[in-house]
Amino acid sequence: MNKTFTLLLVVILTVYAANLYAQASKETPEPKQIENKISAVKNANPGDYILLPSGKKYTLTKEEIAIAKGEFNYENLSDVETTVESDGTEIKTISQGHIAYIYPDGQSTHILKTNISFTAYMRYVKDAYYLAQYI
């Protein structure tokens, strides 16, 4: 009786573990190559990549997909990768195409390497600030 119970318990746990593994596999799809188009980026998953003419893979992050969809929150950069230099300058890597340098005096510089990063950030600036005050 004890051997039968142990065998039954092992079978049940094995089936349960296989089911959990199958669910985890469904939730994280395999990275796939997508076209170098905004519409493709909007429908991509983190980890999908664009094959560049140089042969390099440009792997998309959740931030880049949110930027393409117009859903990225520039007001809250606490979740992005941040490096602090010895002089107190924070380097925030918003995406591969957008890096922000936040200086200790409160000023900042944004390096925008891609068209979508530039367009999305300019939309944010236009909506967040009354530009006539600054021109």
Q: Quote the CA–CA distance of 78 and 6 in Å, as a whole number.
A: 49
Q: Which is nearest to 36 in space by CA: 119, 116, 112, 118?
A: 116
pLDDT at 101: 95
Edge to edge, the sheet with strand 98-102 lists: 81-84, 90-95, 98-102, 108-112
Within 8 A by CB and 6+ apart from 55, the residues are none
The predicted structure's pLDDT at residue 23: 67
Q: Quick one: pLDDT at residue 86?
A: 94
pLDDT digits (tens, 9 = 90+) for 91-110: 999 988 899 999 999 899 99
- Mark the ranges of the chain whose per-residue pLDDT is less than 50: none
Give dist(CA 65, CA 46) in Å, integer: 7
When the pLDDT of each residue in the chain is averaged and rounded to a whole number, the result is: 84
- Which 3 state secondary structure label does DSSP give 113? coil
